[in-house]
Amino acid sequence: MNYHELAQAIVEQVGGIKNITQLVNCATRLRMNFKDESLVDLEELKKINGVLGAVKKSGQYQIIIGTDVANVCNEIKGMGLEELTQPSQKKGGIIDTLMDIFASIFTPIIPAITAAGMIKAILVICVLLGMQKESQVYIVLSFIADAGFYFLPIMLAISSAKKLGCNPYLAAMVGGALLHPSFTKLVTAGDPLFFLGMPVKLINYGSSVIPIILAVWLMTYVERFADKVSPKPVKFFLKPTLTILIVVPIVLIVLGPLGSYIGTGIAFVTDFLNARVSWLVPTLMGAFMPLLVLTGMHWSFLPVLMTSYTTYGYEAVMGPGSLVSNVCQGSAALCVSIKTKNKELKQLASSAGITALMGITEPAMYGVTIKFKKILLSVMIGGGVGGFYAGLMGVVRYTSGTPGLLSLPIFIGENPMNVVHALIACAIGFVVTFVLTWFYGFEEPVGTLDQAETKEAEADKKESFMKKIVITSPVKGKKVNISKINDETFAKEIIGKGIAVESVDGRVVAPFDGTVATVFRTKHVIGLRSEEGVELLIHIGIDTVELDGKFFTPHVQDGDTIKKGDLLLEFDKKAIEEAGYETIIPVLVTNTSAYLEIVASEEGYVEIGETLLTIL
Q: The domain that contains 46 carries what CATH number?
A: 3.30.1360.60
Asked whether the CA dihedral 491, 494, 495, 498 is positive or negative, the reply is: positive
CATH code for position 539: 2.70.70.10
> Could you read off the pLDDT of 459-494 as tens digits, one per residue?
444 444 445 788 999 999 999 988 888 877 778 777
Dihedral (Cα; 139, 145, 150, 154), 10-degree rounding: 130
Residue 495 — very low, low, confident or very high, per pLDDT cuts 50/70/90? confident
The verdict on residue 457 lying in a domain is no
Strand blocks (E) in 241-340: none
26 tagged catalytic = yes
461 assigned to some structural domain: no
Residue 582 has pLDDT above 80, yes or no: yes
Asked, for residue 107, whether it belongs to a domain, the answer is no
pLDDT, tens digit (0-9, with 9 covering 90-100), for 397-437 = 887 777 888 878 888 877 889 889 999 999 999 999 999 99
pLDDT top residue among 114 and 376: 376
**pLDDT at site 461:** 44
Same domain, 206 and 331: no
Question: Which residues have CB under 8 Å from 129's CB, separation 6+?
Answer: none
**CA-CA distance, 445 to 269, in Å (whole number)?**
46
Asked if residue 86 has pLDDT above 70, the reply is: no
Is residue 34 in a domain?
A: yes
Same domain for 588 and 561: yes
Sign of CA dihedral 546, 548, 550, 551: positive
pLDDT band of residue 129 (cuts 50, 70, 90) is confident
Q: Assess whether 13 and 156 both reside in one domain.
A: no
Query: Where is the domain boundary, 276, 309, 334?
Result: 276
For position 77, what pLDDT does the model report? Answer: 84
Looking at the structure, tell me whether residues 409 and 307 fall in a common domain: yes
Which of the four pLDDT bands, split at 50, 70 and 90, describes residue 521?
confident
Dihedrals phi, psi of 254, to nearest 5 degrees: -120, -65
pLDDT in tens, 243-284: 999 999 999 999 989 988 887 787 778 777 777 888 888 888
The values of phi and psi at residue 337, to 5°, are: -65, -35
Q: What percent of the chain has pLDDT over 70?
A: 90
The reply to whether 493 and 589 lie within a common domain is: yes
> Any idea what the Cα angle at residue 516 is, between residues 513 and 522, rounded to 5°?
140
Domain that holds residue 17: 3-84
Q: What is the pLDDT of residue 474?
A: 92
- Tell me the one-letter amino acid at 208: S
Which of 31, 62, 84 finishes a domain? 84
Residue 604 zone, left/alpha/beta (φ > 0; ψ -120 to 50; rest): left
Q: Name the residue among 570, 487, 585 with its Cα closest to residue 536.
A: 585
Identify whether residues 305 and 437 lie together within a single domain. Answer: yes
Mark whether 408 and 308 lie in a shared domain.
yes
Residues 505 and 607 grouped into a single domain:
yes
In angstroms, the CA 343 to CA 449 distance is: 10
Distance (Å, whole) CA 26 – CA 24: 7
What is the Cα–Cα distance from 513 to 136, expressed in whole angstroms?
77
> What's the pLDDT tens digit per position in 496-505?
889 999 998 8
Do 416 and 484 have their domain in common? no
| Number of domains composing the chain | 4
- Would you tell me the crossing angle of helices 302-312 and 256-276 to the nearest 10 degrees? 90
Instruction: Please report whether residue 115 resides in a domain.
Output: no
Residue 545 lies in a domain: yes
Calculate the average pLDDT of the chain.
Answer: 83
**56-60, 249-253, 425-429, 560-564: least confident range:** 56-60
Assess if residue 184 is contained within a domain. Answer: yes
Residue 252 pLDDT:
92
Instruction: Let me know if residue 143 belongs to a domain.
Output: no
Q: Closest Cα partner for 178 from 197, 160, 159, 152?
A: 152
Q: Mark whether 35 and 52 lie in a shared domain.
A: yes
Mean pLDDT of 374-394: 91
Residues 266 and 317 in one domain: no
Mean pLDDT along residues 559-583: 89
Top mean pLDDT of 57-71, 105-119, 535-549 is at: 535-549
Pick the catalytic residue: 26, 73, 166, 328?
Answer: 26
- Residue 440 makes CB contacts below 8 A (sequence gap 6+) with 374, 378
pTM summary value: 0.54
Q: Which of 110, 162, 148, 147 is nearest to 302 (CA)?
A: 110
Taking residue 448's Cβ as centre, other Cβ atoms within 10 Å add up to 10
Domain edge (last residue) among 244, 276, 308: 276
Q: Averaged over 139-153, what is the pLDDT?
A: 88
Q: Is the pLDDT of residue 348 over 70?
A: yes
> What local confidence, expressed as pLDDT, does residue 456 receive?
38
Q: Do 390 and 517 fall within a single domain?
A: no
Q: What is the DSSP letter of 521?
A: T
